[in-house]
Every structure is written in C-alpha cells, then in structure tokens.
Amino acid sequence: MSQRIKCIVSYDGSNFYGFQKQVDKRTVQGEIEKCLSIIQKEPTKIIASGRTDAAVHAYGQVFHFDTNLTIKEENWKKAINSLLPNDIYIKEVEIAPSDFHARYSVKKKEYRYYLTTAEYDPLRRNYTSFLKQEVDIDKMREALKHFEGTHDFSSFTPQDNKIKDKVRTIYETHLNVYDQDLEFIFIGNGFLQYQVRIMMGLIIEIGLGKKEINLIDYLFEHHERFKVEYTAPPQGLYLWKVYY
C-alpha cells in the first residue's frame, strides 16, 4: 500500500543553482531525488512547498514523496541522510495523510533575511548580506510595516513573471536588531519569485535615505517595477518555515 512521506529539509544554498531540478545543474531537488531513487530502486519524484533560487538557503523547506516501502520514519531519515551531500540535511520525516500536498496544503510561509552593517567577513559572505553604510533602523522598520496586508505585488517580481494573480497577503513582519546584525521576518500566504529580495532592496534604499517610504504604497497601485532598481543579494535569504 502506498504511503505519502513528508520531510522537512534544511540546506546551504551556496553551491546550488536553486531548488528546482535542472538539466546539467546541481540542484537541491536533483540531489534528494537521486538518493530516494537509490533507496526505492526506481525513479522517485519529490514535490516541494515551492522553489528557492540559486544561493538562497532553507532552514525548514518541506517536500513529500510517495512510496510502497514500509520503513519507519526514523529509518527513512537515517537512510536519506546517509546518502545526501553534507550541504543538505533531512530534519524530520513523518508519514502524512494521503491528501497532504507539500505545495497545495500550505497555509503560510516564513522567510527571513539577514543583513549586517559590520565589517566584511569572508567567513559570512555566503550567509548574510553585507552593507558597508549605516542605515536608519526606524525608517526600515516603518517601511517593513507598509508591506503588511493584502496587496498586488506586481512591482516586486520580475516583469516577465507569467503568474497572472500577483496578489498576496503578508500577515506579519518583524525587524530584530542584534548589534550590527539585522533580521527581517516576513510571514505570508505565499511569495512571488524574487519578491522578498526586491522588497528588501527597497527597504535597504529607504534605510539609506535613497527612497521615500510612500513609494511602497505607490507601487502597490502603479505597477512600475523599474522604480525599484536594487534587488537584495540572495545570500541573506532563508526559507525559514512552512505552515500547514
């Protein structure tokens, strides 16, 4: 009898061309499917909560797959991790209801973005975004709150994004300050391609005094992507948690 297996996975995105499988490219999906195909002795496809881009990390990405094997949850975890490269790790495995879907059952997603104004550190270059200038924290916090609510985010995704419905709801935002390190938290019902990085780009420019906060509300009404010139680097972005 077929079972649906749900996995929570973390990965260091530094050496991947993103999550989604691509021909002749190293991807997170490709590495996981390779391992599962060995265990199951047949081609195995996984379905994830969504994709992450090149160099973006995940603390709590979720995927599912189906199997005819009868293996305990803890043994699935051990078996998959024993074959995975050391920049991917399965944190949790559970047998899910047959109607569970890693993508379509999602209720909320949480992304976090890490930015520092500290001196450049090559040991952190793949895990945070460095900003060499001081920023206005109060303005950034105020700008962050403008993104909360239901809005058309057409200005915060590439113009060639073929998804027709670009309305999304952001339920919560937070900015935590740890000395020179800044942690931005976004929790919403879904996010468009590059959305968080483009929002962060504008927030950074507002913090530097290069843009005004009222531009955010203007862009919700007027879809003028070109007015956000800066997209924050991928290294600071983490898919933190998926809520079901």
CATH number at residue 68: 3.30.70.580
Residue 102 lies in a domain: no
User: Same domain for 121 and 79?
Assistant: no
pLDDT of residue 46: 98
Residue 103 lies in a domain: no
User: Same domain for 115 and 231?
Assistant: yes
Exposure class string for 67-83: b at 16+ Cβ within 10 A, else e: beeebeeeebbebbbee
CA angle 225, 133, 173 (to 5 degrees): 55
With a cut of 90, say whether residue 29 has pLDDT above it.
yes
CATH code at position 135:
3.30.70.660
**137 vs 133: CA distance, rounded Å:** 12
Residue 46 lies in a domain: yes
* Residue 138 known to be catalytic: no
Of 12, 201, 3, the residue nearest 88 (C-alpha): 12
User: Same domain for 208 and 150?
Assistant: yes
User: Same domain for 144 and 236?
Assistant: yes
Catalytic residue, from 53, 66, 87, 152: name it.
53
**53 vs 5: CA distance, rounded Å:** 24
**163 vs 139: CA distance, rounded Å:** 31
Residue 21: pLDDT band (50, 70, 90) is: very high
Which residue, 66, 96, 126, sits at the end of a domain? 96
CA angle 202, 205, 207 (to 5 degrees): 110
- DSSP category for residue 17: S
Residue 41 lies in a domain: yes
Least confident among 117-126, 172-181, 218-227:
218-227
Which residue, 62, 96, 130, sits at the end of a domain? 96
Residue 180 lies in a domain: yes
Average pLDDT over residues 56-67: 98
Which residue, 65, 96, 127, sits at the end of a domain? 96
pLDDT of residue 160: 83
pTM over 0.85, yes/no:
yes
By residue range, what is the domain housing residue 213?
108-243
More confident residue, 100 or 163: 100
- How many domains does the chain fold into? 2
pLDDT in tens, 103-122: 999 999 999 999 999 999 99
